[in-house]
Structure formats: C-alpha cells, structure tokens
Amino acid sequence: MAKIKSVAVYCASSSQVRPSFFQEAYRLGECIAENGIRLVYGDGGIGLMGKLAEGALAHKGEVVGVIPRFMVEQGWNNPQSTQTIVVETMHERKALIEKMVDGMVAMPGGVGTFEELLECLTWKQLGLHVKPVVILNADGYYDPLLECLHKMVEEKMLREIHLNMFQVVRHADEVIPALENAFPWDSSIRRAAAI
C-alpha cells in the first residue's frame, strides 16, 4: 500500500457524547498530524469533529474542511481549519472529500456518519474507488453495524470478500497502521458485486 498522505475522517458533531469518544477523536487528530498526513473532514467546529481538528492543529497538522454553504450560514464551520472549502450540496461535499484523500476513517457518529461510511463501502464494492476504509470501533460503538454486515453475508446480500473492504480497530493509535496495511483492493472485484 502506498503511503497515506491525506485521510478523510467522518465523525459526530454532537457535543453530548461520552468522554472516551472525545479522547479518541483528539488522539486520532494527533496521530494524523504526527504522521505528516493531511486531515480532510466536514469542517465542524464542535463535537468529535471539533476535537479531531483540535488534536491535529495542536500538533501542527494540516486540516482541510469541506462544508456546504448552508452550514457556514448557520455558523457550523470551524474557523481554525487550515483551509475551508465551501460547496453547495451535501453530495458535492462527500464526492470532493473522497476525491481528495487516500483513505477514509469512520469514528462514532450519527446517521450522517453512517451514511458517509456506507457510501464509501458501496463505492468500493462497485470498484469506484480502491482506497482503504477503517472503522474506529471505540468502546464497541460499531458492534451492531458489524453484526449487520456479517448478517448480510449470511443472507447472501454480500459476498464474504466484501468484509475485506474495511478494517476495524479499537483505538486511534491503530488507525494509521490499519490504513497502510489494508487488504489490497482492485476495481476488478466489482465483478463480485452481483451475488
């Protein structure tokens, strides 16, 4: 796997989540910066998004936020980001982030985070990208989703090989090694998309 130079992180904007999630977000930001990797995220200034950016910026990392205009108008953007790219739609935001990065990470989050993660996996299943995807399963947050993905295989909705589209780790310190040592994926595997 080539060196990861830029990574997307999807995570909660909620400020009410458990302290351990905030600790993992800050530490992930630190790890990204310490490895000289550019962080690309949704430009949120609060919740796990804000803590992630804070960790990266505190360690002199580059933080690029991509955010729709309506969110900027609500004041949801992070003025501390190294660079903010304003787009018009949520769809444009997701597509641009995917284009800008070498890998994706999902931390605990709500429906928006789940949607971003599942879209990354859908695109990978279809061979539209071959980038590593890591699920940071802090405190077992993603256990139900992982169980559901295994159920999909059991019910012949996915092939067994599709469980290799992502790696699962428990702590922020494991994310960069997981990205760099991901199962090699090739767009020709799209032939396996049809069950």
Q: Using CA atoms of 164, 166, 171, 174 in order, give the dihedral in degrees to the nearest 10.
A: 70
Q: Please report how the helices 111-125 and 90-100 are oriented relative to each other, as an axis angle in degrees rounded to 10.
A: 60
> Residue 87 half-sphere exposure, CB side, CA atoms within 13 Å?
14
Where are the alpha helices (H) located in the chain, listed in sequence order? Answer: 19-34, 47-58, 69-73, 90-100, 111-125, 143-154, 175-180
* pLDDT for position 3: 85
Q: Per-residue pLDDT for 1 more than 70?
A: no
Evaluate whether residue 125 is within a structural domain: yes
Evaluate whether residue 143 is within a structural domain: yes
Evaluate whether residue 1 is within a structural domain: no
Q: Per-residue pLDDT for 2 more than 80?
A: no
Evaluate whether residue 11 is within a structural domain: yes
Evaluate whether residue 15 is within a structural domain: yes
Domain that holds residue 93: 6-193
Task: Tell me the whole-structure pTM to 2 decimals.
Answer: 0.95
Evaluate whether residue 35 is within a structural domain: yes
The two structure tokens encoding residue 6: 């830029």
Number of domain units in the chain: 1
pLDDT tens digits for range 63-122: 999 999 999 999 999 999 999 999 999 999 999 999 999 999 999 999 999 999 999 999
* pLDDT for position 187: 80
* pLDDT for position 189: 79
* pLDDT for position 186: 87
pLDDT tens digits for range 5-43: 999 999 999 999 999 999 999 999 999 999 999 999 999
Task: Say which CATH number the domain at 37 has.
Answer: 3.40.50.450
